[in-house]
Amino acid sequence: MVDESSVPWYEDDKLWEIMEPVMFTEARIAFTPNEVDAIKSLCKIAPDEAVLDLCCGVGRHSLELARRGHKVIGVDRTKLYLEKARKAAAEENLSIEFVLDDMRTFYRKKTFDIVLSMFTSFSYFDDHEEQMLVLRNIYASLRPGGRFIFESMGKEILARIFLRQSWSEWPHGFMLEEREAIENWSKMHNVWTFIERDGTVHRWNVIHWIYSGAEIKEMLESIGFSDVKIFGALDGRAYDNEAERLVVVATK
Ligand SMILES: C[S@@+](CC[C@H](N)C(=O)[O-])C[C@H]1O[C@@H](n2cnc3c(N)ncnc32)[C@H](O)[C@@H]1O
């Protein structure tokens, strides 16, 4: 029997539970200090600047920034992840506020100098206006001069490396990912099938926006962001035909 969800994929707790070991691998967690070095260098974060880690997941960037003395607030909709993040912070005696909220509703007016949206955490909502609402919330939460950094997979890169389907093996099961560009390459339709080792099968239709460098720049500028810079990885390389990720730094 296939367990198919009736809520949008990003609101399905089962998806985030099953995907936790897939997304937050030991290698990815271990690489986080390098990502934070790169973020600090791209955004030029001063020691006393306050950071919002939007869609913080299990808090890997929040924890690393707090270890380095930054004031951080992490926000995420997944209770399971926030519980893990809070536990990890308590074990290291780090003071981080972790807030259970939705990126469409969360904002704190002119409170942060930096907002992070790391590892493809923006692009989920079917309606373009909901996407713009998230960007408006980020803009409202930033102090003047504050920077927003966004890291994802760009449309141009996806078109270059596109794979119709792929399988992967994990300690708790096997994953099939089937992909199709839809709505004239506006969105990616992924069908994720996860087969647990006891034979339980889960299937999700994961549909999300894919943005080109030019599209995301235009969206940010239409909200009021300036000095919108596009990079091809967190190391600050050009967003060209060899880009690996779409990284955007925009200033309020
Ligand atoms: C791919 S993970 C990235 C986590 C983290 N930024 C990182 O780099 O490790 C995406 C995260 O977005 C969160 N998320 C999904 N929909 C959300 C929403 N509407 N509001 C807030 N968080 C959401 C998920 O719970 C998940 O933790």
| Separation CA 98–CA 56 (nearest Å) | 9
Strands 173-182 and 187-196: antiparallel
Does residue 54 line the site of ligand 1, with CB under 6 A?
Answer: no
Q: How far is the CA of 57 from the centre of ligand 1 (A)?
A: 5
Architecture of domain 9-154+212-251: 3-Layer(aba) Sandwich (3.40)
What pLDDT shows up at residue 148? 98
Distance 59 CA to ligand 1 centre (A): 10
Give mean pLDDT in consecutive 10-residue pieces for the chain, a chain of 252 residues: 81 98 98 98 96 98 97 98 98 98 98 98 97 98 98 98 98 98 98 98 97 98 98 98 98 98
Give me the pLDDT at residue 6, please.
Answer: 78
Q: Which of 16, 55, 125 to mutate to test the pocket of ligand 1 (most atoms within 8 A of CB)?
A: 55
Residue ranges per domain, the chain? 9-154+212-251, 157-207
Q: Which of 180, 75, 55 is nearest to 119 (CA)?
A: 55
Distance CA(146)–CA(141), nearest Å, equals 9
C-alpha span between 45 and 220 (Å, rounded): 20
pLDDT at 13: 97
| 3-state percent helix, strand, coil for the chain, nearest multiple of 5 | 35, 35, 35
In the chain, how long is the greatest CA-to-CA distance? 53
Integer-rounded Cα radius of gyration of the chain: 18
Measured distance CA(243)–CA(231) in Å, rounded: 8
pTM over 0.95: yes
pLDDT at residue 96 in the model: 98
Query: What pLDDT shows up at residue 1?
Result: 65
The amino acid that residue 159 corresponds to is A
Q: Would you call 91 exposed, middle or buried from its count of C-beta atoms within 10 A (0-12, 13-18, 19+)?
A: exposed
